[in-house]
Structure 1
Amino acid sequence: MQYKTKQEQIAFYKSSAWQSLRLEALERDNHECVWCAEEGKVTTKHDAVLEVDHIKEIEHHPELALELDNLRTLCKPCHNKRHNRFDGKKNKWFDDEKW
């Protein structure tokens, strides 16, 4: 299966196979962000939203889409950083005069 289009990716992420494997990855990683853990911080579902990240993206490596070894648990901020996404919030002081 290819996961090139948004519709194909949405269908994959709604599948029972993905939902089951996602839970397995969260359990394996003790429901903690692995990047935060590498920095000595503990980030759990009580601190942030946890997401399961494909290390090698499914659109480029569809054969690894359901491989547990290709998954890791990241908190939402780390997952956004990994994909160069931002929450869209702009610093309210950004346009202020700078003297």
Structure 2
Amino acid sequence: MCEACAVVAEERRKQRHRDYKAKRTDTDNQKFYSSKPWLITRAGIKDRDNGLCQLCWSENKVKPMNTVHHIIPLEENNRLALVRSNLISLCEKCHQKVHKLYDVRTEKFNIQKKLRSLIG
């Protein structure tokens, strides 16, 4: 992708994210993800994982992370929201893939087990 196309693609991605945030109804989660404790924890996880997607890294691919994922989702156990052993760095593609697998109970268990094994 040329530099001009990359700039356009990044602007589109940012706009999609703004649109997504504006339409969300889970205000408690939105507040959490903007909170100082979360931002500090997220930065620590990014640092721990060297800014890389850990699923890609496990497959010998180097791809920057852009999401810190809760292995056990907040909706299931919000006490684990800031627990480092419940957090892992993922790229957008892997994050989407993981959430699709979470929709299938047996796959959810397997991918959670794999994610836990990738944490330092």
What range is the shorter-chain TM-score in? 0.7 to 0.9
Structure with higher helix content: 2
Structure with larger RCO (C-alpha < 8 A, sep 6+): 1
Pairing 1:80–2:96 present: yes
User: Which residue number in structure 2 is paired with residue 94 of structure 1?
Assistant: none
**Runs of 4+ deviating beyond 6 Å:** none
Aligned-pair CA distance for 1:69 = 1.0
- Matches of 1:19 and 1:50, distance apart in 2: 13
User: Which residue number in structure 2 is paired with residue 39 of structure 1?
Assistant: 59
- Matches of 1:51 and 1:68, distance apart in 2: 14
Identity over aligned residues, as a percent?
38
Report the number of matched residues: 77
Q: Which has the larger radius of gyration?
A: 1
CA RMSD of aligned residues (A): 1.6
TM-score calculated relative to the size of structure 2: 0.61
Structure 1: tracts of 5 or more residues without a match: 85-99
